[in-house]
């Protein structure tokens, strides 16, 4: 019994010291919400590290493909850089764009709830601006859409 315990502990330690747990964390689309929480931080290699300190507007000015995709989510005539101003992270901005589009909420109304002095969480803002919507389901959908956009962007910067 003692020998089995020692072997089990040794095997568990070996697994922890290898890169297996780190490998399991690289699942951008399968685990919704995780990439949104960690967006633009440690995932993606050296090219992504400098982007973590940039505003969404700065990132979008350097990536025309992502900018074009996100611009299509805005109402016609809306300036992408002005829309992104005030958001601290690209993931927050992308999530707001998708939520606005999915629920038909004017983006400027949603943005005013999410940035500034009296900012709110996305879930609280959605509950206030679209009380009939299933907020929990909508947040899952927005999270998946945002993760997919950021994953596509990260793949483009890694190459």
Question: Which pLDDT band holds residue 46 (cuts at 50, 70, 90)?
Answer: very low
**130-145 tens-digit pLDDT:** 999 999 999 999 999 9
Whether the model clears a pTM of 0.75, i.e. scores above it, the answer is no
Residue 92 in domain: yes
- The predicted model gives 88-104 an average pLDDT of 93
Full domain range(s) for residue 102: 27-158
Q: Is 138:103 a contact under the CB 8 Å cutoff?
A: yes
- The predicted model gives 82-106 an average pLDDT of 92
- State the total domains in the chain: 1
Q: At what angle are helices 122-129 and 135-158 packed, to 10 degrees?
A: 130
d(CA 82, CA 69): 16
Rg (CA), the chain: 19
Q: Is 147:32 a contact under the CB 8 Å cutoff?
A: yes
Residue 87 in domain: yes
Taking alpha carbons only, the member of 54, 47, 80, 70 closest to residue 154 is 47
Is it the case that residue 93 has pLDDT exceeding 60?
A: yes
Residue 13 in domain: no
Residue 19 in domain: no
Residue 9 in domain: no
Q: Please give the pLDDT value at position 43.
A: 39
Residue 49 in domain: yes
Residue 20 in domain: no
Residue 31 in domain: yes
């Amino acid at each position: 019994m003692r020998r089995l315990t020692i072997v089990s502990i040794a095997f568990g330690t070996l697994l922890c010291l290898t890169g297996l747990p780190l490998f399991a964390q690289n699942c951008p689309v399968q685990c919704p919400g995780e990439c949104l929480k960690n967006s633009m931080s440690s995932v993606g290699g050296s090219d992504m590290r400098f982007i973590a300190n940039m505003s969404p507007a700065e990132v979008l000015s350097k990536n025309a493909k992502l900018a074009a995709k996100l611009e299509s989510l805005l109402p016609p005539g809306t300036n992408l850089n002005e829309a992104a101003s005030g958001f601290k992270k690209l993931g927050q901005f992308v999530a707001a764009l998708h939520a606005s589009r999915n629920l038909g909420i004017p983006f400027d109304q949603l943005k005013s709830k999410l940035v500034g002095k009296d900012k709110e969480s996305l879930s609280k803002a959605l509950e206030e601006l679209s009380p009939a919507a299933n907020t929990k389901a909508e947040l899952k959908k927005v999270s998946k859409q945002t993760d997919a956009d950021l994953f596509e962007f990260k793949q483009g910067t890694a190459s």
